[in-house]
Structure 1
């Protein structure tokens, strides 16, 4: 009788644990969806959650985060799979930190409408709380496989769609587990393919533990076919390109919220669209101007690269009161890159008279 009762109790405990294990993914999924929907100005959900208790991990499948009132065709964030787990090599050193791996994430940065009504924006603390709720331990390693980053502007004519595909990103020692005395202990590397067949390479040393991180970054984008970004050139340069290549280099340093650096584009073999084609499509005067501009750009082809390159400095303090530091940083970069592109392309073809 005693053994029978013990068996029944043991079997009941096992069934209870199995029931909890079966129900746990649904509980976690409900919690994650609630967390995403509490982010001001956004709504989100996940399709499924898988738990891997033996390695202290869980996997989020089909994460979607959309801006309220945004373009549903281009959600802010879409991730096929996200694996969140304990970093075991650090645990063996007595440090409890985590690692995150994202598979095929897509991040869309959409320029705001010029006359759009102000909308609620999440604060830095809001983003921090979401991350803490999703993974309650400090992230030390972050990686991205086959990601996509896009910048979209529907306020221009034509619309602008610039993107980086096949992004591979690895960020190590984010929690400063290994180099406690180093001012910039974290290392970040990035590669990708841009619109126009360009190759992106970037590397960064950073301290991400500060409220506004410090970093030193080098970035290069090479062998971009200019014809593939004609929409961008039409919107900001006001003319078309028939051929040409862009190489772009940048160095940035952020120290105590003070941003310094430069953007330097090189243009080679640039030629404005031919006169006869434009005469039919866009009118005689537009075609005539582009034909004249083409003569200037042909002459520029024989110059040395360093003579037709331009260098635009980047500087500013992103710790402005009542402003979001990350948005300020992105705006500074956006304007600097556009200014660099305009100055560089104007060395190849003169600006159109207003």
Structure 2
């Protein structure tokens, strides 16, 4: 039957057959390319387990992407993403711009102290890797159910901190909308920290600069302080028995210069459990924590409990100014101490963002 077909028909059938074969092998070819690209990043081993192609929407998906430090903790890879979807943003194409959008499902970033690779990749290395995987400019980024964790297993006890259930959406990163603003892109994010804290924030950014300009507002509220005892024990040499923390911050970066503040609030903090601390650290350790607890009581400002007006909450708060080159910013310790006294003896700080940094 094939012999009875015309030459033109045979050529068309051959082309169709070759295209079908190419489509069948395309995921394997792309997987090989992606794994080679990831593995070329200095100091890391990277790979994906599978690749899916969706030509009809100009997209491909990477299943189970891993990036592991060559001398890192094998139980905690630096990066793990369940699914990465990279596609053309069609609505921007109709506006005359070829840009892409990326959706990360269940990404996990683990920063393990002391696990930095022997050959740390430069900014150029990271940029090249991202461009090789997504050769068109990214205009929209979405993160679903992410997790970022910091761990130091050399400390005793282990120091751990994490934010999970992270949701993040970044819009107009390539300024497709042609927004006539200094900071045309918008980022919103939320999550849950260790100790049940609620993270919420937003940011205006100009990502087209080498060091992006930005204005950031963020809050972390309702953190159970006992969950941070690893940090407190390692850096403060004491621990807490009870208490909650709220933290508010504003940051502005313009031409590589950072200006902003952190505003922490500590409520109902209890440092001393005499019997327990005496048994674990001896009389001197218990006495030190007693002094710390006494200072905490002195610096508390008794505020009315919003949920129970007849009850007062012991609150310690300050404002920590931070300013300078983005790579080496400085904090004003004297002003931080004065703000601590101001909250305790003059007027309590209001919880929330002050709205004094930058302008959007």
TM-score interval (norm. to shorter): 0.7 to 0.9
Confirm or deny that 1:245 pairs with 2:244.
Answer: yes
Give the one of 91, 97, 100 matched to 1:95: 97
> Does structure 1 conserve the Cα–Cα contact (< 8 Å) formed by 2:53 and 2:60?
yes
Q: Aligned pair in 2 of structure 1 residues 336, 111: CA closer, same or farther (>3 Å)?
A: farther
Paired with 1:183 and 1:110, the residues of 2 have a C-alpha distance of 36
Kindly report the root-mean-square deviation, in angstroms, between the aligned alpha carbons of the 2 structures: 2.7
Match of 1:29 in 2: 31
Q: Give the number of equivalent residue pairs.
A: 329
Q: CA deviation at 1:8?
A: 4.1
Greater fraction strand: 2
Match of 2:53 in 1: 51
Paired with 1:300 and 1:309, the residues of 2 have a C-alpha distance of 9
Q: Which has the higher mean CA deviation after the structures are superposed, 172-181 or 203-212?
A: 172-181
Question: Secondary structure in 2 aligned to 1:262?
Answer: strand
Match of 1:308 in 2: 316
Any gaps of 5 or more consecutive residues in structure 2? 304-312, 345-360
Q: Deviations over 1:79-134 (max 9, x none)?
A: 00000000011011111000000000011223337xx9x83221111111111100
Q: CA deviation at 1:236?
A: 1.3
Q: Map of 1:252-331 to 2, 5 A cutoff?
A: 252-298=251-297, 300-301=299-300, 303-304=302-303, 308-318=316-326, 328=327
Q: Aligned pair in 2 of structure 1 residues 9, 179: CA closer, same or farther (>3 Å)?
A: closer
> Does structure 1 conserve the Cα–Cα contact (< 8 Å) formed by 2:139 and 2:175?
yes
State the TM-score, normalizing by the size of structure 1. 0.85
> Does structure 1 conserve the Cα–Cα contact (< 8 Å) formed by 2:149 and 2:161?
yes
Q: CA deviation at 1:36?
A: 0.6
> Does structure 1 conserve the Cα–Cα contact (< 8 Å) formed by 2:301 and 2:315?
no
Any gaps of 5 or more consecutive residues in structure 1? 319-327, 349-354
Q: Deviations over 1:237-293 (max 9, x none)?
A: 111101101000111110001111111101100001411122223222222332343
Question: Secondary structure in 1 aligned to 2:241?
Answer: strand
Q: Which has the higher mean CA deviation after the structures are superposed, 91-100 or 293-302?
A: 293-302
Give the one of 61, 64, 80 matched to 2:63: 61
Confirm or deny that 1:70 pairs with 2:69.
Answer: no
Q: CA deviation at 1:172?
A: 0.4
Q: Aligned pair in 2 of structure 1 residues 38, 16: CA closer, same or farther (>3 Å)?
A: same
Match of 1:214 in 2: 213
Q: CA deviation at 1:309?
A: 1.2
> Does structure 1 conserve the Cα–Cα contact (< 8 Å) formed by 2:269 and 2:314?
no
> Does structure 2 conserve the Cα–Cα contact (< 8 Å) formed by 1:242 and 1:272?
yes
Q: Which has the higher mean CA deviation after the structures are superposed, 155-164 or 131-140?
A: 155-164
